Amino acid sequence: MVDPLSRDSAGLPEMLDHQPSTHFAELPASPTEDPEWILVEEGFTLAREHELESLFAIGNGYAGSRASLTEGSPLSAPATFVAGVFDSKPGSVPELAPMTDWTRLSAIIEGQPLRLDRGHNLEHRRILDMRQGIFWREWRHQDEAGRITRLQVLRLASLADRHLLVQCVTITPENYSGRVSVDATLTGPVVQVTGNGTTVAMAVSHRVMNRVERRAPSAEQVGGRQSFELKLGETYRFDRMVALHTSRDTVEPRETARRHVERAIEDVTGVIGEHREAWLARWEASDLRIEGDPAAQRALRFAIYHLLSAANPQDDRVSIGARGLSGTTYKGHVFWDTDIFMLPFFILTYPEAAHALVMYRYHTLAAARAKAARLGYRGALYAWESADRGEEVTPSFVIAPSNEVVRILTGEQEQHIGADVAFGVWNYWQATGDDRFLIEAGAEILFETARFWASRAEREEDGRYHIRRVIGPDEYHETVDDNAYTNGMAQWNLEVAREIADLIVERWPEQWQALSRRLGIEPEEPRRWQNVARDFYTGFDEQTGLFEQFRGYFGLEEIDLASFVPRTAPMDVLLGRERIQRSKIIKQPDVVMLVCLLWERMPPEVRKANFEYYEPRCGHGSSLSPAIHALVAARLGDTALAERYFRQAAEIDLADNMGNAAGGIHAGALGGLWQVAALGFGGLYLCGERPEHRANLPLNWRSLSMRFQWRARWHELTVPEGTESRNAEDAP
Amino acid sequence: MSEPVILVPLDGSTQALAALPVAKVLGGIESAALHILHVGEHEPAGEGLRSRLGREVPELDGLTIDARVGTPSVEILRVAAEIKPRLIVMCKHSSAERGKMPGRTAMKVLHDASCSVVLVPPGRGATPWHLHHVLVPHDGTPTTSAALRPAAELAEHAHAELLVVHVTDIRGAPAEPGSLTTPRYVDQPQHEWPAWSTEFLNRLSSICPLGHLHVRLLLAHGDIAAEILRLSEKRSTDLIVLAWRGRWEAPHAATMKGILREAHCPIMVVRI
């Protein structure tokens, strides 16, 4: 069932509907004015700072910075992360290492600190300019002596040159002349060495300019502060440029960063211009346009913006963590979110970035093999949570705020991740036709994950293969036997591995010889994969058309979720862990997830029956849940239900008062939101030799259009109102 | 600046003396003098309190007793307006009142006093009191955070533990911007719960500085008043601090009523 948020969802349109009203003439660029491309936050609510820092974060896949206030506040948590740079403290799991805050700039005017919590804020506005990848801020402040100061900020992480971060700040005294003291000193080291030996060097360069006189003001340097006279009505601009390099990408990160920033500071306007062009070009490929629903349009662009901000096609040894580079929660760890929820967006609109993501899985295959071996199995089992090297980094317990010590079993039992990675690899290859990837990396992942399932499944007295003691996507039920999703995806993994083995034998026999020798694949092994797949227990009931989510599920207690509406808390909090485990309430789609991924394998009546059975029993305790329900509902033709779930998914980050985004945006849910639009409402199907679509647009969507790449060719999908089915057109 | 004062109204009954041990400890923590107020309805209190009690009351030794004539609640509020006490500490009932809810005098003072009021259950008698554990129910709103500043300061001065309790409210979450309630989605508890706890306390401390306080956050679910009372018993809480918006009529203040009715420890009510 759709679980509408009881908190008034008016927060979403309110945030989205404002438009910038002023010009940023003294900065090298101006905000986009089209309200469908921007998010605007007016005013200042201290308690929301962490949320806003996440939502308005900037990033380019190499580095990401939270949208903290330059001068800070009691709740500011500025942080910059570099993808793949993790640190670990003794006894704890690795986490993304925060870099020194490069955005800090505080001003004292005539002895009065310029702060939001002092004096009067005449105007305060923050803008996330998704089209240009820029964070803007405008602030007019009146101090207790009546001095009015205007401050404007532009901040970006260059998409054209991923090592560069830029911040331009203007200060204009509107009704006074007076002395300002500006402190922009870094509060941390410019060279950091993480626990695993990675060196990160940050080189900083800055300059100050009087925009009227076109020269630097005569300044007095006191410690790290610059002090000079502000003249009435004249604007002073502070440009700061930062170059970041690590020992992961160069042998001399410090020197490389220094040279890089020295070059770049000479042409700030040029750097910003190239960055804007890079974003515009990116949007040309990745935008998804909606007519008739501005809120949905902006929510989708918000999703696309953050997905693009987290991706870097130039580094195939990093992936995208659950919160991208926008926050510390989840420690930068990579989950199935990337392979199942985010990857389709990249495969279809940014295949170079998708390639990097699937290659991350290839580079971490050794750790997956080690995990499988540690558990006593063959092949490869990917980590439920992985960091830079792919080792299992799931914490083993947590102390819940109920004071209960909760043992975390996902690192051992949520083994469907292996098939999820394989599914992402196969999807990538299907859509791109990247045979080189398949032969050099993808096939190895498919074979090794299949090997794991072949050794993990046990043939029992009924002659069927069973997998016991696992957790499916529904994490409310732990240590279950024959989870339908796990078994179904394992079966798929085994079958596809066999098909790919046959394909390589036939088309690239020499490569097969080398690969099979290297992996020790005996000639009969692929056939054994097929046999295991054929005899897998699936929990499918021919009579009802239902999959039983796991052994014994149908005998659990029925609890009517409708009786808890409205609610704002997860069902396991309301009922307790023990009760929820004895009930049929599920955390997120499990069987429905299987239906969603293996859509073409399921007869229409089976899809429908399972959705209708499990959807009312889903408590949506996961942020990944609403999008999948929206996607499946749309494909089943229940557009109204799909639209409600789409809205719920869009609100996960964007609705104010939720607090969910304080530790970073939900990258998986954002990927899911895009899938609802493209694969659900747009109805794009990518399983055959030629892409097709069977659209199911919401009533108020007049049209949906997008470009996508299929087998190295760009296609244009345009769905006018009323369209039911047609082939996607080739785009020039 | 005048010396801080704690106002302690006593009505001459033995049960009202339950406020004294609490007031004395709070006075020590706050470095505040106790201002004992005895209001007689018909006669000048004069010799007053001690004789009315009909016995020696060592708790009153050394304390000045301010005696007034009139309606108790009116006189208490009048004195409070004059001396501007940091706190009013009084027994939940007057001698003539029965039942579990605060009596008329206490309710009037609660409603109209401009400072926080500590209500002491009469049943605790003259037992010595200490302040080691302070329990603060918190609905997640910035308004409540702001209201709890005096409680946090009190706990810090007493070197007491501050136990912040957030009870999931199934009826919905507050609409106030910046509110943080039970997370709607808990994708991975090993990450979400530490993050949520940190965020909750960060938001609280950005508005209500927590200094070096030992703070513990607990999340509970169920009937809010019942959960707070359960945790209060379990944790041997010495003081419950409630933020009150000043509305008493149903459906308002349901939680506060439940706690006032059943709590065994003193309750400090802070007006929002």
Fold designation for B5-124? Rossmann fold (3.40.50)
CA distance A658 to chain B (A): 7
From A26, A53, A475, A525, active-site residue? A475
Q: Between vectors from CA B246 to CA B243 and to CA B249, what angle results, nearest 5°?
A: 120
CB contact under 8 A, B184 and A660: yes
ipTM, 2 dp: 0.93
Interchain contact, A7 vs B193, CB within 8 Å: no
- What's the confidence (pLDDT) of residue B124? 85
**Distance (Å) of CA A692 to CA A426, A682, A695, B4:** 18, 10, 10, 78
User: Residue A623's pLDDT is what?
Assistant: 96
Closest by CA position to A585, among listed A567, A608, A604, A606: A567
Q: Span B133-271: which CATH code? A: 3.40.50.620
What residues of chain A, 38 to 57, have a C-beta less than 8 Å from chain B? 45-50
Residue A193 inside a domain? The answer is yes
Torsion (CA) A141, A143, A148, A153 in degrees, nearest 10: -30
pLDDT digits (tens, 9 = 90+) for A558-612: 999 999 888 888 999 999 999 999 999 999 999 999 999 999 999 999 999 999 9
Rounded Cα–Cα distance for residues A298 and A38 (Å): 7
* Residues in chain B whose Cβ is within 8 Å of chain A: 142, 145, 166, 168-197, 199, 202-203, 205-207, 217-221
Q: Residue ranges per domain, chain B?
A: 5-124, 133-271
Is A402's CB within 8 Å of B180's CB? Answer: no
Interchain CB distance below 8 Å, A622 and B187:
yes
Contact assignment for B179 to A657 by CB distance below 8 Å:
yes
Residue A288's pLDDT band (cuts 50, 70, 90): very high
Q: A306-335 in b/e burial notation, b at 16+ Cβ within 10 A? A: bbbbbbbbebbbbbbbbbbbbbbbbbbbbb
User: What distance in Å separates the CA atoms of residue A2 and residue A198, rounded to the nearest whole number?
Assistant: 46
* Residue A475 among the catalytic residues: yes
Condensed to tens digits (0 to 9), the pLDDT of residues A448-481 reads 999 999 999 999 999 999 999 999 999 999 999 9
User: Per residue in B186-212, is it b (16+ CB within 10 Å) or e — as a string?
Assistant: bbbbbbbbbbbbbbbbbbbbbbbebee
Contacts of B66 (CB under 8 A, 6+ apart): B35, B36, B37, B38, B79
User: Is residue B187 within 8 Å of residue A624, measured between CB atoms?
Assistant: yes
Omega cis (within 30) before A604: no
Residue A251 domain-assigned (yes or no): yes
Asked whether the predicted pLDDT for residue A389 surpasses 70, the reply is yes
Nearest residue to B90 (alpha-carbon basis) of B66, B70, B107: B107
Which stretches in chain B have pLDDT values below 50?
Answer: 46
Quick one: pLDDT at residue A691? 83
In chain A, what residues touch B181 (CB-CB under 8 Å)? 568-569, 659
Q: Do A8 and B191 touch (CB under 8 A)?
A: no
Q: Decide if A5 and B184 are in contact by the 8 Å CB cutoff.
A: yes
Report the distance separating Cα A627 and Cα A596, nearest Å: 11
Q: What per-residue confidence (pLDDT) applies to A732?
A: 47
Residues B195, A329: C-beta atoms closer than 8 Å? yes
Considering only CB atoms, B173 lies closest to which of A7, A660, A662, namely A7
pLDDT per residue over A18-49, tens digit each?
444 457 888 999 999 999 999 999 999 999 99
A562 at B interface, C-beta within 8 A: no
CB atoms A403 and B218 under 8 Å:
yes
State yes or no: pLDDT of A660 exceeds 70: yes
Which among A167, A181, A172, A273 has a CA at the least distance from the CA of A221?
A: A181
Closest to B89 in 3D by CA, of B13, B19, B27: B19
Alpha helix stretches (DSSP H) within A28-140: 49-55
Residue of B nearest to A668 (CA): B187
Tell if the CB–CB gap between A564 and B170 is shorter than 8 Å. yes
Give the Cα separation of B247 and B111 in Å (integer). Answer: 9
- Shortest CA distance from B184: residue in chain A: A569
CA distance B252 to chain A (A): 19
pLDDT at A610: 98
List, in sequence order, every residue forming a beta bridge with A20; answer none if it has no partner.
none
Residue A413 lies in a domain: no
Which among A49, A410, A568 has CB closest to B182? A568
Over the stretch A499-523, which tens digit does the pLDDT of each residue have?
Answer: 999 999 999 999 999 999 999 999 9
Shortest CA gap B169–chain A (Å): 8
Interacting residues of A596 by C-beta distance below 8 A, sequence separation 6+: A589, A628, A631, A632
CA-to-CA dists, residue A650 to A304, A665, B155, B172, angstroms: 12, 12, 42, 20
> Could you tell me the CA-to-CA distances from A154 to A127, A142, A205, B217 in Å, in that order?
10, 21, 16, 38
Task: Give B145's contacts in chain A (Cβ within 8 Å).
Answer: 47
CA distance A130 to B6: 57
How far apart, in whole angstroms, are the C-alpha atoms of residue A166 and residue A204? Answer: 10
Asked if B189 and A408 come within 8 Å (Cβ–Cβ), the reply is yes
Say if A60 falls within a structural domain. Answer: yes
The CATH number of the domain where A250 resides is what?
Answer: 2.70.98.40
Rounded to an integer, the average pLDDT of A166-184 is: 96
Side-chain-facing half-sphere of A613: CA atoms under 13 Å: 19
Q: How many CB atoms are closer than 10 A to CB A406?
A: 14
| Cα A90 to the center of its chain, rounded Å | 28
Sign of CA dihedral A430, A434, A437, A439: positive
Tell which of B148, B185, B231 to mutate to test the A interface (max A CBs under 10 Å): B185
Q: Give me the helix-helix angle, A294-310 and A639-654, nearest 10°.
A: 60
Give residue for tokens 């662009």. Answer: A301
Q: What percent of chain A has pLDDT over 70?
A: 95
Q: Which chain A residues are Cβ-neighbours of B189 within 8 angstroms?
A: 398, 400, 406, 408
- CB contacts, 8 Å: B180 with chain A: 47, 659, 662
User: Which pair of structure tokens corresponds to residue A512?
Assistant: 């097969």
Instruction: Tell me, rounded to whole angstroms, the distance of Cα A251 from its chain centroid.
Output: 30
- Whether residue B219 and residue A573 make contact (CB cut-off 8 A), yes or no, is yes
* Burial bucket for residue B2 (CB in 10 Å: 0-12, 13-18, 19+): exposed
Quick one: how far is CA A675 from the chain centroid?
13
Residues in chain A within 8 Å Cβ distance of B207: 46-47, 74
> Phi then psi for A584, rounded to 5 degrees?
-90, 0
**How many structural domains does chain A have?**
1
Six-digit token pair at B53?
Answer: 């009690």
Read off the pLDDT of residues A108-141 as tens digits, 9 standing for 90 and up: 999 999 999 999 999 999 999 999 999 999 999 9
pLDDT given at position A10: 37
List A residues 435-454 in contact with B (Cβ-Cβ < 8 A): none
Residues in chain B, total: 272
pLDDT single digits (tens) A83-92: 999 998 888 8
Q: Is residue A276's pLDDT more than 90?
A: yes
C-alpha span between A458 and A468 (Å, rounded): 9
Q: Is A92 on the interface with B (CB under 8 A)?
A: no
Tell me what the mean pLDDT of segment A476-497 comes to. Answer: 98
Q: How confident is the model at residue A270 (pLDDT cuts 50, 70, 90)?
A: very high
| pLDDT for position A726 | 47
Residue A118 lies in a domain: yes
Pick A687 or A703 by higher pLDDT: A703
Instruction: Express as a percent the part of chain A with pLDDT over 90.
Output: 86
Task: Return the axis-axis angle of helices A268-286 and A294-310, rounded to nearest 10°.
Answer: 120
Which of A225-229, A240-244, A658-662, B143-147 is least confident? A658-662
Supply the pLDDT for residue A567: 82
Q: Which two tokens stand for residue A230?
A: 């502000």
- Write out the residue range of the structural domain in which residue A96 sits: 30-284
Which tokens belong to B97?
């009142």
Q: Is the residue at A600 inside a domain?
A: no
Interface residue A581 vs chain B (CB under 8 A): no
**Contact assessment for residue A398 and residue A330, using Cβ atoms and an 8 Å cutoff:** no
Q: Using N-to-C axis directions, what is the helix angle for B224-234 and B254-262, rounded to 10°?
A: 40
Give the A window 301-330 contacts with B, CB below 8 Å.
322, 328-330
Q: Is B133-271 in the same CATH topology as B5-124?
A: yes
Q: A94 to chain B nearest CA, in Å? A: 13
**What whole-number distance in Å separates Cα of residue A340 and Cα of residue A328?**
22
d(CA A505, CA A10): 58
Q: What is the pLDDT of residue B48?
A: 59
